Structure 1
Amino acid sequence: MPRVDIPGSKSLTARALFLAAAADGVTTLRRPLRSDDTEGFAEGLVRLGYRVGRTPDAWQVDGRPQGPAVREADVYCRDGATTARFLPTLVAAGHGTYRFDASPQMRRRPLLPLTRALRDLGVDLRHEEAEGHHPLTVEAAGVEGGDVVLDAGQSSQYLTALLLLGPLTRTGLRITVTDLVSAPYVEITLAMMRAFGVEVGREGDTYVVPPGGYRATTYAIEPDASTASYFFAAAAVTPGAEVTVPGLGEGALQGDLGFVDVLRRMGAQVTVGADRTTVRGTGELRGLTVNMRDVSDTMPTLAAIAPYASGPVRIEDVANTRVKECDRLEACASNLRRLGVDVATGPDWIEIRPGAAPEGAEITTYGDHRVVMSFAVTGLRTPGISFDDPGCVRKTFPGFHEAFAELRKDIVG
Structure 2
Amino acid sequence: MPAVDIPGSKSITARALFLAAAADGVSTLRRPLRSDDTEGFAEGLTRLGYRVGRTPEAWQVDGRPQGPALAEADVYCRDGATTARFLPVLAAAGHGTYRFDASPQMRRRPLGPLTRALRDLGVDLRHEEAEGHHPLTVRAAGVEGGEVVLDAGQSSQYLTALLLLGPLTRTGLRIRVTDLVSAPYVEITLAMMRAFGVEVVRDGDVYDVPPGGYRATTYPIEPDASTASYFFAAAAVTPGREVTVPGLGTGALQGDLRFVEVLRRMGAEVEIAADRTTVRGTGVLRGLTVNMRDISDTMPTLAAIAPLASGPVRIEDVANTRVKECDRLQACADNLRRLGVPVATGPDWIEIRPGTPEPGTGIKTFGDHRIVMSFAVTGLRTPGLSYDDPGCVRKTFPGFHEAFARLSQVS
Which TM-score bucket, shorter chain as reference? over 0.9
TM-score between the two structures when normalised by the length of structure 2: 1.00
Match of 2:178 in 1: 178
Match of 2:331 in 1: 331
1:33 matches 2:24: no
Which whole-Å CA distance do the structure 1 matches of 2:216 and 2:368 have between them? 34
Which whole-Å CA distance do the structure 2 matches of 1:243 and 1:326 have between them? 29
Contact 1:79 1:106 in 2 (8 A): yes
Helix, strand or coil at the partner of 1:15: helix
Counterparts of residues 140-179 of structure 1 (less than 5 Å): 140-179=140-179
Aligned-pair distance for 1:197?
Answer: 0.1
Match of 1:91 in 2: 91
Which whole-Å CA distance do the structure 2 matches of 1:355 and 1:7 have between them? 33
Structure 2: segments with no counterpart, 5+ residues: none
Match of 1:255 in 2: 255
Helix, strand or coil at the partner of 1:17: helix
Contact 1:250 1:274 in 2 (8 A): yes
Helix, strand or coil at the partner of 1:130: coil
Helix, strand or coil at the partner of 1:297: helix
Counterparts of residues 211-222 of structure 1 (less than 5 Å): 211-222=211-222
Helix, strand or coil at the partner of 1:6: coil
Which whole-Å CA distance do the structure 2 matches of 1:18 and 1:249 have between them? 25
Aligned-pair distance for 1:80?
Answer: 0.1
Match of 2:69 in 1: 69
Which whole-Å CA distance do the structure 2 matches of 1:205 and 1:230 have between them? 33
Match of 1:117 in 2: 117
Pair 357,85 (structure 1): closer, same or farther in 2 beyond 3 Å: closer
Match of 1:201 in 2: 201
Which whole-Å CA distance do the structure 1 matches of 2:88 and 2:187 have between them? 22
Match of 1:58 in 2: 58
Aligned-pair distance for 1:104?
Answer: 0.2
Which whole-Å CA distance do the structure 1 matches of 2:410 and 2:318 have between them? 33
Match of 1:376 in 2: 376
Counterparts of residues 276-355 of structure 1 (less than 5 Å): 276-355=276-355
Contact 1:340 1:359 in 2 (8 A): no
Contact 1:255 1:295 in 2 (8 A): yes
Helix, strand or coil at the partner of 2:131: coil
Q: Which moved more, 1:350-359 or 1:264-273?
A: 350-359
Match of 2:107 in 1: 107
Contact 1:307 1:358 in 2 (8 A): no
Helix, strand or coil at the partner of 1:374: helix
Which whole-Å CA distance do the structure 2 matches of 1:397 and 1:322 have between them? 22
Helix, strand or coil at the partner of 1:383: coil
Aligned-pair distance for 1:204?
Answer: 1.8
Structure 1: segments with no counterpart, 5+ residues: none
Q: How many residues align?
A: 411
Match of 2:82 in 1: 82
Which whole-Å CA distance do the structure 2 matches of 1:13 and 1:355 have between them? 38
Opposite residue 304 of structure 1, the aligned amino acid is: A
Aligned-pair distance for 1:357?
Answer: 4.5
Aligned-pair distance for 1:259?
Answer: 0.1
Which whole-Å CA distance do the structure 1 matches of 2:346 and 2:93 have between them? 41
Which whole-Å CA distance do the structure 1 matches of 2:193 and 2:392 have between them? 31
Aligned-pair distance for 1:5?
Answer: 0.5
Deviations along 1:288-338, one digit per CA (max 9) or x if unpaired, are: 000000000000000000010000000000000000000000000000000
Match of 2:3 in 1: 3
Which whole-Å CA distance do the structure 2 matches of 1:357 and 1:113 have between them? 40
Which whole-Å CA distance do the structure 2 matches of 1:399 and 1:243 have between them? 18
Aligned-pair distance for 1:410?
Answer: 1.2
Deviations along 1:21-48, one digit per CA (max 9) or x if unpaired, are: 0000000000000000000000000000
Opposite residue 9 of structure 2, the aligned amino acid is: S
Contact 1:3 1:245 in 2 (8 A): yes
Contact 2:308 2:356 in 1 (8 A): no
Which whole-Å CA distance do the structure 2 matches of 1:360 and 1:301 have between them? 20
The list of structure 1 runs, each at least 4 consecutive aligned residues, that deviate by more than 6 angstroms after superposition, is none
Deviations along 1:259-299, one digit per CA (max 9) or x if unpaired, are: 00000000000000000000000000000000000000000
Helix, strand or coil at the partner of 1:404: helix
Share of identical aligned residues, percent?
Answer: 88
Match of 1:388 in 2: 388
Opposite residue 124 of structure 2, the aligned amino acid is: D
Helix, strand or coil at the partner of 1:283: coil
Aligned-pair distance for 1:360?
Answer: 3.0
Contact 2:26 2:60 in 1 (8 A): yes
Opposite residue 63 of structure 1, the aligned amino acid is: G
C-alpha RMSD of the superposition: 0.5
Opposite residue 244 of structure 2, the aligned amino acid is: T
Which whole-Å CA distance do the structure 2 matches of 1:336 and 1:410 have between them? 28
Which whole-Å CA distance do the structure 1 matches of 2:64 and 2:148 have between them? 25
Aligned-pair distance for 1:356?
Answer: 3.7
Which whole-Å CA distance do the structure 2 matches of 1:372 and 1:256 have between them? 18
1:404 matches 2:396: no
Counterparts of residues 4-19 of structure 1 (less than 5 Å): 4-19=4-19
Opposite residue 289 of structure 2, the aligned amino acid is: T
Which whole-Å CA distance do the structure 1 matches of 2:367 and 2:144 have between them? 40
Helix, strand or coil at the partner of 1:184: helix
Contact 1:93 1:165 in 2 (8 A): yes
Aligned-pair distance for 1:203?
Answer: 1.7
Opposite residue 228 of structure 2, the aligned amino acid is: A
Helix, strand or coil at the partner of 1:207: strand
Aligned-pair distance for 1:393?
Answer: 0.2
Aligned-pair distance for 1:137?
Answer: 0.1
Which whole-Å CA distance do the structure 1 matches of 2:342 and 2:204 have between them? 43
Deviations along 1:34-81, one digit per CA (max 9) or x if unpaired, are: 000000000000000000000000000000000000000000000000
Aligned-pair distance for 1:384?
Answer: 1.3
Match of 1:243 in 2: 243
Contact 2:361 2:385 in 1 (8 A): yes
Which whole-Å CA distance do the structure 2 matches of 1:382 and 1:60 have between them? 44
Opposite residue 133 of structure 1, the aligned amino acid is: H
